[in-house]
Structure formats: structure tokens, C-alpha cells
Amino acid sequence: MPLIIAWPGHAKIRAGAISDGLAHVTDIVPTLAELAGVPGHGGSWQGRAVEPVTGRSLLPMLGGAPGSVHGDSPLGYELSGNAALFRGDYKLVRNLAPTGDGNWRLYNLRLDPGETRDLSAAEPERFAAMTADYRAYAKANGVLEMPAGYTADDQINQYAWEQQGRKRAIRAGLWLGGALVLLSALVWGWRRRRRARRIDQAKADMVGS
């Protein structure tokens, strides 16, 4: 998807420039930090270790340099078991159900931006190399494989039920149970009074006769 960056009057951003180089969401913070003159992240702060921010500054692209700041370096991504690895013009991707079948596929984004032609069989060496790149990314970042049959929708629904749904169901059950008890008591009291009136009426009729 396209990314639009505007900073009118900034000397390092070329107005009206268009670049087709690959960028990633992790590049936003390093870009803004460099434009704002903020020192690099990582190291330590108040005696505590600080994780470095991943991504690269897009400043060269914003200044008009051709291509991606990532060059041919592998760039990994994972979310809920869905994963991808970008390298140059290529993308290795795996989508779990219900949007995919969990198999890895390889695409050339420059020639096939719609990802319609899987090149995993046509370019087995590149496919194997990028698969190894993703395994290295997953190991370095502690990415866990999802269990068989996992889907994000099911996990979200299960978590929502465990965190909120069960509590709300219990509260609703208590309110409903209390309402039923109250209604039953009112009906029982009404029927008892009605029966008592009938008995009183029957006694009055006997005395009158």
C-alpha cells in the first residue's frame, strides 16, 4: 500500500518525489527520529537496558535516492501465525486459514504486485534461501509457531470469552435468576391471595344461606 510523507520546508525531504522502493512500518520511528534530530535508540536508560528500535530511516528515499533502504537485506514479519519475508523484489509469504492454507509461497512484487504467480517451484534456490532467512528472523525475535488448527479469529473469540464473556454471562445469569425468583414469588403470592379470597367468599356464601 502507498505511504505518503509530508514535511513542508524540510531541507532533507524532496517535495513531490515518488519512490517505488519498499518500506516497512518499522521504518517510521527511525525516519522521524532522524528528521527530528533525536539520537539513536537502544543502549541503556537510567541503568536499564533498552531494546533498539528495528527498521531503517527512509531519509535517503525521501531525498530522492532510488530503490529501497533495505536493499537485498531480508526483512521479516509475523502476526498471529501469518508471516512474510521481503528481500529485494521478492516476497515469501504464508497465510493461515481462513485467508490461506498455511503453505509458503514466493512472489516477485515488481513483476507481479498482485501476487498471482507463485515462484516457489520455478525458483527453488531463492525459495530455500528466503525460507532460511525467515527461520533466522523467527529465531532472533522469538517468534513461536502456532499450533495446528490455530486461527486468529478463534483465539480472539476464546480470549474475549475468558476475559469478559464468562463474567458477563455469570452476571446476566444472576440477574435473570433473581428476576425469575422475584417473579415466581409475586405469582405465588398473587395465587395465594386469590385462593384466600375464594375461600373467604365461599364461607360468606355458606353463612348467608
Q: How far apart are CA 137 and CA 131, in angstroms?
A: 10
Cis peptide before 98 (omega within 30 of 0): yes
Torsion of CA 150, 156, 160, 166, to 10 degrees: -20
pTM attached to this predicted model: 0.69
Q: Quick: pLDDT tens for 71-88.
A: 999 999 999 889 999 999
pLDDT at residue 174, rounded to an integer: 78
Q: Quick: pLDDT tens for 13-52.
A: 888 888 888 999 999 999 988 888 877 666 666 777 777 7
Question: Residue 124: is its pLDDT beyond 80?
Answer: yes
Q: Quick: pLDDT tens for 125-140.
A: 999 999 999 999 999 9
CA dihedral (3, 24, 152, 108) positive or negative: positive
Question: Residue 199: is its pLDDT beyond 80?
Answer: no
Instruction: Label residue 29 exposed, middle or buried (CB < 10 Å: 0-12, 13-18, 19+).
Output: middle
Of 118, 127, 112, 75, the closest CA to residue 100 belongs to 118
9 beta partners: none
Q: How far apart are CA 107 and CA 92, in angstroms?
A: 7
Map residue 145 onto helix, strand or coil: coil
- Is 92 within 8 Å of 105 (Cβ atoms)? yes
pLDDT at residue 94, rounded to an integer: 95
Q: Quick: pLDDT tens for 131-180.
A: 999 999 999 999 988 888 777 777 677 777 777 767 777 777 878 888 88
Which strand (E) or helix (H) includes residue 85? strand 82-87
pLDDT at residue 103, rounded to an integer: 94
